[in-house]
Homo-oligomer: A and B are copies of this chain.
Amino acid sequence: MRYFIELSYNGTAFHGWQIQPNANSVQETIEKALSLLLRETIQIVGAGRTDTGVHAKFMIAHFDTDVTFSTDNLQYKLNSLLKAPIAIYSIYNVKEDAHARFSAEKRAYEYRVITRKNPFEINSAYLVKQLIDIDKMNRAAALLFNYKNFKCFSKSNTDVKTYNCDLFRAEWIQESEHLLVFHIAANRFLRNMVRAIVGTLLEVGIGKLEVEAIDRILKSENRSEAGYSVPAKGLYLTEVTYPENIFIDE
């Protein structure tokens, strides 16, 4: 039987999602707890692989097991067992071919920028001291919708078949006097893509780049034309969406 786990985690405490030697990953932390509770070795597959320090307000992972258990009870026990900053919101049965990563149709991220030092946002937002023009950043963000190929925002050493992404949303919102949040959604994201887009848009926002530079950068398909990559700590995975047909009716 295949199960989906809905969860969130504070990335500050982890060396990213993916298991790696001698490092504390979200995946390994959950696998260890699940294996202990189900008394068999469990492996989980996440909807994506967040980097060190990146957070998830919402993440999906799947696992397979033939052990029978109450999903509510397992969720409760998993939360009690996990002392780490991971919250398990729900566990439910899905169809056998449902895949946390490959079945996902849409992913959404937020990037939080603070414009004044905030002792409650040391590891949860990125501080920018320059004056930011949010209207300019939104005009630049709107230009992104004219493109499919986002190679210019991708880490150069990645091995992907295509650099094409379908963008659904790219918008800055002024959430409060000293907090700007960038919302972006697409069918898929390339490695480091959100952080490179945010860095580029911020360069527009502080006047280092013109709004129209976005067109030149995207046409170049060259990472070195785009802006800098902003720190991981401001980035949050917030949504992963699947087609209705992978869920099992109750």
| Chain A residues proximal to chain B, CB less than 8 Å | 8-10, 55, 57, 79, 84-89, 116-120, 122, 124
Contacts and interface: CB of A to CB of B under 8 A. Distances in A.
Contacts of A89: 116
A124 B124 CA distance: 13
Nearest to A86: B119
B118 A87 contact: yes
Contact of A119 (B10, B118, B119, B120): B10
A34 B47 CA distance: 49
A79 B116 CA distance: 10
Contact of A8 (B57, B88, B119): B119
Contacts of A87: 116-119
B55 A8 contact: no
A79 B8 contact: no
Contacts of A119: 8-10, 84-87
Contacts of A88: 117
Which of the listed residues A57, A87, A120 has the most CB atoms from chain B within 10 Å of its own CB?
A: A120
B120 A10 contact: yes
Nearest to A13: B119
Nearest to A57: B120
Contacts of A10: 119-120, 122
Contacts of A57: 120
Contacts of A117: 79, 87-88
A79 B79 CA distance: 38
Nearest to A55: B120
A117 B89 CA distance: 9
Given A57-B120, A85-B120, 15 more contacts: A8-B118, A8-B120, A10-B119, A10-B122, A55-B120, A79-B117, A84-B119, A85-B119, A85-B122, A86-B119, A87-B116, A87-B117, A88-B117, A89-B116, A120-B124
A57 B116 CA distance: 13
A181 to B, nearest CB: 14
A53 to B, nearest CB: 13
16 contacts: A8-B118, A8-B119, A8-B120, A9-B119, A10-B122, A57-B120, A79-B117, A84-B119, A85-B119, A85-B122, A86-B119, A87-B116, A87-B117, A87-B119, A88-B117, A89-B116
